[in-house]
Amino acid sequence: MPNTPSEYFRVKARDPPDNVTVRSLATPHPRVLVVGVITSPMELEFAIRMAKRPDLFELRLDHLVHVIGRLENKISRLRAPLIVTARHPIEGGANRLSALQRHNLLARFLPRAHYIDVELRSAAVFRSLLWMARRQKVRRIISVHHLKTTPSVGRLRAQARAAKSHGANIFKVATRADTPAQLARLVGFVASKDVDIAVSAMGIGKLGAASRVLLACCGSAFAYVSLGRSNIEGQLSLEQLRALRISSRR
């Protein structure tokens, strides 16, 4: 089992997608944008001081709920477009926030956002918030996080279509990537390009790091990276991604 992104290329995955070639995996997709994830006051301070910033920062408001006042006073110093999200507890959200708490956090930070990220399971409940985002020209990411499974390509396509029906500009998906077969399924979904919406995809697990590289090369819209010590298995740091020559445009 490979432990690093480069080792993946020495593993033959079962049923690899027909349209994924060695050449297509060797060159990063030109549209990939790097997103630095901020989950703590320490990461916020680090992001403010960065000389070479990623393309965007994601504010995990569910993690930052206890320092919201400090966050509001400092985010203007981040000097990069912002994604705001307050994750549902079932999909990895912190602090067990209610739907009302998450809605209010997102509405509070919407004027500062370039993107808002809402889970597909919350899209109907947050319909008015998504409508408000559209009116304010804030782009919408609708996401799913399969923390224990890797759905079929057919189910991922159905979820992408559902995300688009809720007004998403980008469908974001995270799934398990513990085996070559699971990783091949996720890569196949992104590389097939048979859904009419931009896709941002990533794997979590033993092949999570490899997935971040392969999916960036196959057309994933965003590559999410940690700014500190990540507790997500397989998430790369900004330095690791840049070392692999998949770096932000800045």
Query: One digit per residue, pLDDT tens: the chain, 250 residues?
Result: 444 444 443 433 333 344 444 334 444 444 689 999 999 999 999 999 999 999 999 999 999 999 999 999 999 999 999 999 999 999 999 999 999 999 999 999 999 999 999 999 999 999 999 999 999 999 999 999 999 999 999 999 999 999 999 999 999 999 999 999 999 999 999 988 788 999 999 999 999 999 998 998 888 999 999 997 777 888 888 888 888 777 555 5
Predicted local distance difference test score (pLDDT) of residue 20:
41
Contact 106, 116 (CB under 8 A): yes
* Residue 20, C-beta contacts closer than 8 angstroms, at least 6 positions apart: 187, 188, 191, 218
Predicted local distance difference test score (pLDDT) of residue 247:
56
Contact 200, 163 (CB under 8 A): no
Predicted local distance difference test score (pLDDT) of residue 16:
39
Contact 216, 29 (CB under 8 A): yes
What's the burial of 117, exposed, middle or buried (CB within 10 Å: 0-12/13-18/19+)?
buried
Rounded to whole angstroms, how far apart are CA atoms 242 and 67?
Answer: 30
| CATH class given for the domain over 5-243 | alpha beta
Around Cβ 233, how many Cβ atoms within 10 Å?
A: 15
- Whose tokens are 């690791």? That residue is 240
Contact 237, 225 (CB under 8 A): yes
Predicted local distance difference test score (pLDDT) of residue 177:
95
What residue spans define the domains of the chain? Answer: 5-243
Predicted local distance difference test score (pLDDT) of residue 238:
87
Q: Checking DSSP bridges between strand 139-145 and strand 115-119, what pairing results, if any?
A: parallel
